[in-house]
Each structure stands twice: as C-alpha cells, then as structure tokens.
Amino acid sequence: MGRKRAVDYRRCCCIVGDSIKAFMKNCGANVMDNKVDVARDVALQILKEVNHDGKYANISLKHHLRRAKLSNRDAVFVTQLVYGTLERQITIDWILSKFCSLKRANPWVVNILRMGCYQIMYMDRVPDFAVCDEAVKLCKKYCNKTLAGFVNGVLRNVVRHKHDISFPSKENDPVLSLSLTYSYPSWLVRKWISDYGVTVAEGLMMPVEGDQNCVTVRINKNKITKDELKEQFALQGIQFEDGLYMKDESLRLRFVGDIETNPLYAEGFFTVQGESSMLVVRVLEPQKNELIIDACSAPGGKATYMAELMGNEGRILAWDVHPQRVELIMLNATRLGATIVEPMIQDAAEFRAGLEGQADRVLIDAPCSGWGVIYKKPDIKNRIRPEGLHELYALQGRIISTCSRYVKPGGVLVYSTCTMNVDENQRVIERFLQSNPHFTLDDFTHLLPEGLKNSVIRPGMIQLIPSRDRIDGFFIARLKRMG
C-alpha cells in the first residue's frame, strides 16, 4: 500500500535527480568529512518547527527557503520532503511504532526518523543507504552519537522490512484502514464515514493526482494580458499551462519554488490564488459602483479580484480582525493596483450599526477547519482536534448572523469555506435560513464553468472535492435577501 504514492513523487525525483546523483557521487567525501546534506538539514528544521513549535508549514517553509537561498532544484526537493513527510506522517508514525517508541523521544530524533521513513517508503529514487547515512549525520549534528546509533538501527530495520509490513483491510477495519491508506486521523475518518458513507469518505481523502508541485496564479488583467504574462514566464523558463476552469484568468505553474520572490509578482502582474477561491468571487458576481463587504478578507485575494472585475469603480470594505493581516490586505491591494479596496480592522462577528442594510453584496469567507486544502497544507491533519470544532461552528454562526444584516433588500450574501465538513457548510446555512426567512438560496449554476455543474449539491450550494475536481475543496452558498 505504501508504495502507491511513490508514483506521484517520481516526477519530482526526476527533477532533483541530478542533485541526488551529485549527492551520491560525493557521498563518500561527505561521509568522510561528516557534512550534512543542506536540503535535508533545512527540511528537518522546518519539520521540527511545525511538529513541536506550533508553526505553520507554509510560513516556516517560506522563511527557511528564503534564508537558505537554495537553488530552485533544491528548494523543490526541500518542499517535497517537508510536505511529503507531513502528508504521510500518521502512516509513518504507525510504521515506526513497529520498530521503536516515539513517546518521550527527542524531537529532533522523531523528525529525523519521520523524514527518513518517508524517503525509504515513498521516494523510489532515493537510495536507502544514503537515507540512513544522512539521518545519522543529522542526528550527530543535533543530538549525539548514541542517538545516532539508535536512528541508524531503526531506519535500517524499516529498510529490511518495508515490503512485509501488513496493513489492516478495509473490510475488517474501515476506519483504521482508510486512516493508514491516506494518512488521515482516525477521528476524522470516522466522522466522514458517518456523514457521507465509506465510498464518498474515501473519495474525500484520495490524493489529487498529478498536482504535486503545481501553483495556481491569477493574472492581474489591469496590468498585463494573459499572452504577455505567458511570454514573460516562458522567457524565465517556467513551465505553465492554462487553469482547469478559470481559463481566462489563471495559469498553473510547475516546479517554481517560491514564486512570490519572482520580480513579476512584485510588479503586480499576478497573484497566487486557487481557482476555487476565484470561483467564490464569480459566484458573488460583483458589479461596478456597488458597495461590497468582504468580511474575512485577508490576505485580500478575493477583494482584489472583485476590484479588477469592477474596473476599480465602487467600494470594497475589506475586513480582518488581526492588524498584521489587514496590513497584508493593504500590501496586496497596493501591489495589484486595486484602488477601491479599503482595508480595515473589524471583527466580522461584531456588528457595525452604520452599515445596516447598506451593502449590495456581502462575502463571508468564513474561518474554518480547512479540510479542503489538506492536500496543500498537510500539517492541518495534525493540527486540528475534534474538541475545538464546536467553538468554530459557533463562530461561523455568529458571523453569518451579524454580516447578513448589512445586505440591502434584493442584495446578495455569499458564504464560503475551504472545508468539506457538513457541520461548517450545509448545516450553518440551514440553521441560518430557519432563523432568517427573508433570505433564500439563490441558484448560481449559470455562473459555473461547465465542468463544475455536477458538483452542485442543490440550487444555491456547491461542494468542490479535490480528488474529483482537482481544485481546492471549497463550499459555496449564495443567498438573496428578499425583503
């Protein structure tokens, strides 16, 4: 079972193949002078920060890649090691438990073992002996020789037994089987099976095939045409293709490392934004000269897209409760030339009386569990606990109840999340409609690209699923105020 995803990483391994060959060529010299491989060293530091210091993987990765100033090839390798290990961490810990106990182990040792096990089990073209040798060197650097011997023994046991590890079957234990097959927490697998049944639940966990190392960007048509941006990327040697659904506005870039350091990004010619996020704005359907409230706006990707569609005519109030995130909205609006975006510190759950019944459209991109983007942010699997979800449901209810009061009669309210949890999606909307009969679901099927019309749950609601739709797992509901 564990070998299946190795196919997914083969292309990446080909890309870093030269780096690995160079490493193998120099392996003897490295062993002699005990130098650690820089890419693995950087990846280990990130894993330790995410798993033991509470940092977000994307933020830690960006920080370390910029500080280390690695080549693009090594940056891609580090990204693959970090995200691959985090994505498979639940299964990896289960495998390692067959050979040692991770409880009370030194945090550096735990993450060296996880990263080593990931390479042995899921990266075909990384030699096992090199993985063990590099793990030993990392352990000597961050711990001591005794622990290095322990790490060496555990990983060599994994190498010897990697083809005879027996996993539970789906027939006998569907929860544990799916949990280990797709590396999801058992409590979440149990909940999805309860909400959707085994077949659909498995579909929610399936990987997005072929999308590793792909970054989607939205073209800022206020500054550059699609053809001009393509030409610029081609000159830089960047691989790209059209977006899957938002074909006029988006490009999918491959193996680009940290794209936000690209000078074209600084010029405001594009911004990093997934197609699901773009679709939310399309469903909102902003018009020129309207007043729009973007209630949970940071980092401002949707607000700046609205401004582009409105031709910078009208007003967009872009709120966030955290000052540093409001600053981020401001920076993005300035970079992209979105002059009608008005960033503002405002808690979306707190009512502003002066705006009651004033807005033509209100967008609530609600804080959520983020299960629809787990395939991009695998640390979410290990971060969210079931006991924290009820507080989240209550917050979502307060935000939609408060923000609905800003919608003028005949106006539109769009509620979206990047999760596939029905408690945060359909049930929030159902409860809201029961208490607010002057709102009704508003069918937006005509606004959808043809390939997504089958993802509509009912008129006025859509659930996107990454493994099926190959974009982020967003829920979007559009409501209309009748009176």
d(CA 444, CA 436): 20
Chain centroid to Cα 182, Å, comes to 16
d(CA 466, CA 375): 8
d(CA 284, CA 306): 9
Which residue in 137, 423, 473 sits closest to 280, CA to CA?
A: 473
Whether 418 is catalytic is yes
d(CA 232, CA 263): 11
The length of the chain is 483
Q: In which element (H, E) is residue 421 found?
A: none
322 Ramachandran zone, left/alpha/beta (phi>0; psi -120 to 50): beta
DSSP letter for 418, please.
Answer: S
Give the amino acid at 120: I
Question: Following DSSP, what letter does each residue of 207-262 receive, concatenated?
Answer: --TT-TTEEEEEE-TTT--HHHHHHHHHHTT-EEEE-SS-TTTEEEEES-S-GGGS
d(CA 177, CA 34): 41
Selected catalytic residue, list 132, 139, 296, 418: 418
Which residue in 301, 303, 467 sits closest to 371, CA to CA?
A: 467
d(CA 62, CA 48): 15
Q: What is the 3-state secondary structure (H, E, C) of 305-364?
A: HHHHHCCCCEEEEEEECCHHHHHHHHHHHHHHCCCCEEEEECCCCCCCHHHCCCEEEEEE
d(CA 191, CA 196): 8
Residue 222 near residue 308 (C-beta atoms within 8 A): yes
Residue 15 near residue 76 (C-beta atoms within 8 A): yes
Tokens standing for residue 7: 């196919």
Residue 241 near residue 251 (C-beta atoms within 8 A): yes
Q: In which element (H, E) is residue 3 found?
A: none
The catalytic residue positions are 418
